Amino acid sequence: MAGFSFFALLDDVATLLDDISVMTRVAVKQTAGVLGDDLALNAEQVTGMGQEREWPVVWAVCKGAALNKVILVPAALLISAFLPQIIPVLLLIGGTFLCYEGFHKVYHYFFKKKHKDAKPAGEFDPKQAAKVLPPVDMVAYEKERVKGAIRTDFILSAEIVVLTLGVVSTQSLPVQLGVLAAISAVATGAVYGLVAGIVKIDNVGLYLTQRKGDGVMTRILHAIGRGMLRAAPWVMKSLSVIGTIAMFLVGGGLYAHNIHAIGDLLNAWAAATGPLSTVVGILLPGVFGLLVGAVVNVVIALASPLLPKRKKPLPEISTEASTEG
């Protein structure tokens, strides 16, 4: 009888693992778009550090992202069981934050570019100004970048967890927990493994160009390495653009998915474009997210005189700044 119970237990475990596997594949399809956005956003967040600090920064963000999942998975199960009605509200708050951050980056880029291009004659020399500016605390700057990346990951992880929970909402608690754990592992391991590879693309290219030998394979590797070195700056620059666009797409998408009136309106506009409906349907949430970010930034700008003074943000690190004393 004891042997029968043992084999029955194994059969139950095998059935449970099979259910988790099937539902995980379904959940991956549902969250694939958000996982792609998570990759683009976090790769953009951790770029710009010194080469020797790139992997430590990625590892720090990866640990923070794993902690996010440890917090979010049980929290999502509890909220789903006792307060399911507040999940859309939490997602809207996260979407608003992404739209705000995205528009702030766009505004900052064009504002900074305008002042950089419009450099009046007779003004002070930037190199002389760089000499009298206080030195940047690189430790604090790095910590700020890591915190920003972890905050962004928290919002995207919350959407991934909630979307996954929607897929497995009719399953048993063990299946829900298993699928959420599997998706969390994929969202952390795969995303940050790719991020670590992206930020080191130039190092890999340099390594390939330095391979010794005269054979055909060595020449092929040299050519691949040179191509990677040429592509690396463009990849890094494009990550910033892709990450910002992803902020608007995810933020606007959260509004469209959780406020039916907005989603129906955007779908109707997309359908009215006929053959372009698929492309327009993808872009419209991003346009809506851009508008949300603009409104939130204006509201915060108008309300800022009434708010408590915040600590000034750390300056951006410029590779063009003079280091001469």
Range of the domain at 254: 2-117+125-200+235-306
Residue 101 falls within a domain, yes or no?
Answer: yes
> Which tops the pLDDT comparison, 321 or 140?
140
The 10s digit of each residue's pLDDT in 268-306 is 999 999 888 989 998 999 999 999 999 999 998 888 887
Ranges 17-21, 35-39, 166-170, 188-192, most confident: 188-192
Residue 33 falls within a domain, yes or no?
Answer: yes
Of 312, 324, 325, residue with least CA distance to 140: 312
Residue 156 falls within a domain, yes or no?
Answer: yes
The pLDDT, as a whole number, for residue 174 is 85
The pLDDT, as a whole number, for residue 138 is 67
Residue 184 falls within a domain, yes or no?
Answer: yes
The pLDDT, as a whole number, for residue 51 is 66
Residue 287 falls within a domain, yes or no?
Answer: yes
The total number of structural domains that make up the chain:
1
Residue 154 falls within a domain, yes or no?
Answer: yes
Residue 293 falls within a domain, yes or no?
Answer: yes
pTM for this structure? 0.65
Q: How far apart are CA 228 and CA 206, in angstroms?
A: 8
Q: What is the mean pLDDT of residues 154-179?
A: 81
* Helices (H), ranges, the chain: 2-46, 51-82, 87-117, 126-132, 138-167, 173-199, 201-209, 216-258, 260-271, 277-303
| Terminal alpha carbon distance of the chain | 83
Of 22, 24, 19, residue with least CA distance to 164: 24
Q: What is the mean pLDDT of residues 110-138?
A: 52
Residue 208 falls within a domain, yes or no?
Answer: no
